[in-house]
Amino acid sequence: MRAAQRATRDAFLQKIGRRPVIMGILNVTPDSFSDGGTFIASSAAIAHAKQMVADGCDIVDVGGESTRPGATPLDTPGELTRIEPILTELASTLDAAVSIDTYKAKVAARAVELGAVLVNDVWGLQKDPEMADVVAAAEAAVVIMHNRAEKDASIDILTDIRRSFDRSLALANKAGIRSDRIILDPGIGFAKTSHQNRDAIARLAELKDYALPIMVGVSRKTFLGGLGDGSEGSLFGTIAVNLAAAANGASIFRVHDVGPNRAALNVFHALR
């Protein structure tokens, strides 16, 4: 990682805990659940990234492969084809940190070469055996997310989250990833029942003993099936869940709609 990247990485990490931190979502995919196909063109993607920064996001998270349930897997060359031109342009024009949303080590390595300072891994370093070493060698920050191969309504989800985090953190430690560059994500909407999603938000404070920042990604997700109308997937629903998560200890919020979430979280922070 170049010196300028290190400075950008450290400036981003130093914001965490001082105020709510916003990660803006930039999906350059045809099949993401909410905005698939919207930002495939480089010009549209760059314009949207700049707008998110203007609206108050602290880091732009670029994703080249949809991770929604049922999405068609993409190979490494295909993912690189989507993200390389976007990252190249963002590195020279964007006045904010950039992260890469991938579980593939080769994609992560290339993204850092192009200017990314954080790897957002939905499989928490456990899918690709080379990922932990790549993150460590690149000196990148990393989001470790909880995930499962399938739902299991019989388990206590917080116990499962903790087991997964423990495995991921052991991999990070073995590879030499510094703890002050690690962020945890409970993986709302990933292989969890509606009850388990509610549980993960309601019991978020139980993860504070890791003494690591917690990120939540609930934007536009209809993960509370008990509501019946999917209202949690609306903008107002997303803001409500993010405020509940903030009250329970989350400090980073991955969202599509930066401006409204920034405004709501700023008011919450001022009152707190």
What residues are annotated to the active site? 221, 254
**Alpha carbon distance 38, 45 (integer Å):** 8
**Alpha carbon distance 185, 187 (integer Å):** 5
Q: Which amino acid is at 250?
A: A
Total Cβ atoms within 10 A of residue 226: 9
Contacts of 228 (CB under 8 A, 6+ apart): none
Q: What is the DSSP string of 198-250?
A: HHHHHTGGGGGGG-S-BEE--TT----GGGSS-GGGSHHHHHHHHHHHHHTT-
Contact between 97 and 22 (Cβ < 8 Å)? no
**Alpha carbon distance 255, 266 (integer Å):** 15
